[in-house]
Every structure is written in structure tokens, then in C-alpha cells.
Chain A
Amino acid sequence: MTVHPINWHTAFFMLYAVVACTFGVAVVVSSNIVRMALYLIVSLGATAGLFFLAGADFVGAMQLFIYVGGTLVLLIFGVMLTAKGPFISMRTSGGDWIVAVLLSGCLMALLVPAAFSVASWRNERHAAVDAEPDDSDTAVLAAPRTVAAAHQPAATEEPPAPFIDDNGDGIPDVQPKTATALGLGLLGARVDAIDAKPEMRPGMSGYLLPFELISVHLLVVLIGAAYLARAKRRVR
């Protein structure tokens, strides 16, 4: 058994994943609404960490800003506005719990195998032997997906790696700064897809229209929320 060096990327992933999952489950299990809110904050924060690990620095930042900083504060306001006593709890019957857990178990049983059903999603760089010749997905990946291999002339038909990895550790040498690209993408310019192959270009248009729609949507939502939440006690 060879001892491999710890891949810190993986290690941090495990940390964040465990935290996110554990506190997510804790939200479910807890019956105290304030604690639930706290657990949710932790879970969402861990998720933001996962985003950073996946290279989505801007999205992770937004996750922290909007979710943890905005939405949850809103929720806690809600808790404070609607709580009659300090710690009101509403018990759910045991039957509901059993049914919910059973169903969620079924759902998990569906989702987890699905997550591992595609070989390329697993990102196993040293598992060429695992490749199944009859799987179309894995057939594409028949050659070991090392960065060196990616530069070999034998694999000319393979698409070039989307990032520069001269030291071959599988981590880009220069971390992409996604904020600029995302901002331009929202304005309609896709700088990230400039050197994509022409057949990949169609569909990679910008997001100006959805952006505008979302902004108007937000405005409407805010007005609607203000209207709905206004005090009407005098009617009574």
C-alpha cells in the first residue's frame, strides 16, 4: 500500500462537506427555530467554502453576502416578529417523521448512485483500469487523464485543457478571476468563451436579458413584500 500525499484540496472539501451536511441535517432535526437558523447559517457558510473550492470565488462570495448576510438576517427578523414566546416549538407527529425519513431515504437512494453513475464526474486520474470499455462516457476517457497526457500528440483529438497547468498538479497555475468574466457575461460579453471551438459557441450568449428580468423581478418582489407585510390591524 502506497502512501499518497494528502491532497489538500480534497481534505478541505471533506471538511466543508461534512460541516455543510451535518448542519443541514441538524436544521432538520432541531425543533428550536432560533437554533435552526443558526445551524442554517453554518451550513450555508460551509457551502460557500465548497464554492471556493470549486473555483467559483465570486459565487461563494455572493453566497456569503446574500444568504448569510441578507436572507438569514431576514429570516431571523421573521422569527423575532412571529415568536409569541421565547422558544415556541411546534411538535410534529412521529408518523410524519417516519414517512418523511422513509421518503428522503428513497430520494437519497436515487440521488447518490446517480451522482456516481458517470465516470468523468468522478475525476479519477489514476483509475484508468476502472474504465469500462462499454461505457460511452468512460470510453472517451479511456486514456489516463493526466495533464502530461493531455499534452501528448497521441491525444490530439482530445480538447486541450482549459487552463495552464505547467507543474502538472492538476491545479491551474493562475487561478481565474471569475468576477470580471461574470460581470461581462451579465452584460452580454462572454470573455471566457472567446477561444472555444466554433461549434461550441452557439448558445453561449450573454445574460443581459435574464439580468434585466431579475432586476425588475426583484423590484416587483420588494414592492409586493412591502405591500403584503404592511400593518393592517386598524381594519379589525
Chain B
Amino acid sequence: MSFFSQPVGVSHFLVVGAVLFVSGVVCMAVKRNALGVLMGIELVLNGANVNFVAFSSPFLRSDNAYALGLDGQLISLFVIVLAAAEAAVALAITLNFYNNHSTVDVDRADELKG
């Protein structure tokens, strides 16, 4: 079973990242719960992180000279930190919204419509 004997490459990681990303997007698109939307965002960011780490890895490609090296990992660290910050702010916004509207349904938050 050559599937398991072949080494994995960047592409495989990218596919995983894509799946996570798309899952996040769909999550954002279909969840009416604001917290669900936040989870979708986490998934999207995570997908992106997978990609960064994959590109920075020295093991996953034949031409290592073109790998991102530590830069990718650094950026993914930043992304993690930003995601945490974002989660905190978004949660605060959600709580505020909940205080004002007694719900977390994003479909009710349409007061800025044209």
C-alpha cells in the first residue's frame, strides 16, 4: 500500500488546510449563533495556520531551499495570538449584543442595513 509508504508533502497539508478552511467558511455562513460564527472563524484561521506551518517545514518538500523556514512558524504564532485577541473582542461584542437584544442570533443584528 504505497499510500502509506510514500512520504507526505506540502500538498497533503494544504488539502487538510483547505478542508478546515472551507469548513470554517461554511460554519460562518450557516450558523445563526454568533458563537458558531466565532468557531467558524477559528477554523478558518486554523486552516491558514496549517498552510503556514506546512510551507515552513523542512521535511515536506524536495527543494528545501525554497521553504519558508522559521518565518512561517513565526507568522503562525502571530496568527494564533491574533486569533486569541480576536476571540476575546468578538466574545465581548457578542456579550454586549446579548445584553442589548437578549439573543445571540446574528440574523437579528441587521440594524446597519441599507
CB pair A82–B95 under 8 Å, yes or no, is yes
A9, A17, A71, A72: the one within 8 Å of B7 (CB): A9
Main secondary structure on chain A at its contact with chain B? Answer: helix
Main secondary structure on chain B at its contact with chain A? Answer: helix
A166 sits at the interface (CB 8 A) = no
Within 8 A of B (CB), among A130-172: 140-141, 145, 159, 161-163, 170-172
B residues less than 8 Å from A14 (CB atoms): 3-4
* CB of A130, distance to nearest CB on chain B (Å): 12
A residues less than 8 Å from B20 (CB atoms): 20-21, 24, 43, 47
- Chain B interface residue number, banded: 35 or more
Look across to chain A and name the residue whose beta carbon is closest to the beta carbon of B106.
A90
CB pair B94–A71 under 8 Å, yes or no, is no
* CB of B7, distance to nearest CB on chain A (Å): 6
Bound CA span A212–B15, Å: 33
When each residue 35-55 of chain B gets 1 if its CB lies under 8 Å from chain A and 0 otherwise, what string results? Answer: 110111011001001100110
CB pair A90–B14 under 8 Å, yes or no, is no
CB pair B89–A224 under 8 Å, yes or no, is yes
Bound CA span A170–B104, Å: 51
CB pair B69–A47 under 8 Å, yes or no, is no
Closest 5 CB pairs of A and B: A123-B9, A4-B5, A115-B14, A159-B65, A145-B62
